[in-house]
Amino acid sequence: MTSLLFSLLLWLLAPLNRPGQSPVPLGVWADDTGDTHTEIYRCGERLCGRVVWLRVPQDPNTGRPKLDQRNPSPDRRSQPLQNLIVLQGLRYNPDAERWEDGQIYDPTSGRTYSCYVSLNTKDQLEVKGYIGFSLIGRSHYWTRVR
């Protein structure tokens, strides 16, 4: 009886991400500059992310909300950066223990890159954008917003 209670207690105290389950980085994350917060959420079986906070939400010249002015598609240049979807299509790869095969959009350049995200700790996320191969790219480290 004691061993059964002990086993039950261990099971209850075990981490939520058991083997075979993916560590899901849902929540709001601050970029490494602290200028932008992005919410990562489920979109079907994959993950997506949208801008939910900007340190400077208004254009200093006009006083209006900042827009996606560098978007390569002219009809999208009038959409606000607030709530802009910047991460799309990330699927979990259990072999690599990361979310990959997604895309990340950089509104400062108007470019879209392949990307993956990986939880380093429960409060630190590596976000790597790249062209072609993930060995060639740049990692950014986002921090969970409490």
What digits encode the pLDDT tens for the residues 41-74?
999 999 999 999 999 999 999 999 999 999 999 9
Is position 66 within any domain? yes
Asked if the structure places residue 16 within a domain, the reply is no
Total domains in the chain come to 1
Q: Which domain holds residue 50?
A: 23-144
**Residue 14 within a domain:** no
Cα distances (angstroms) measured from residue 42 to each of 24, 25, 38, 92, 144? 9, 10, 13, 12, 17
pLDDT category at 6 given cuts 50, 70, 90 is very low
Q: Provide, rounded to the nearest whole percent, the portion of the chain with pLDDT above 90.
A: 80
pLDDT at 16: 38
CATH number of the domain bearing residue 109: 2.40.128.520
* Dihedral sign, Cα of residue 59, residue 62, residue 63, residue 65: negative
For residue 30, being part of any structural domain is answered with: yes
| pLDDT band (50, 70, 90) for residue 15 | very low
Does residue 84 sit in helix, strand or coil? coil
Confirm whether 97 is domain-assigned.
Answer: yes
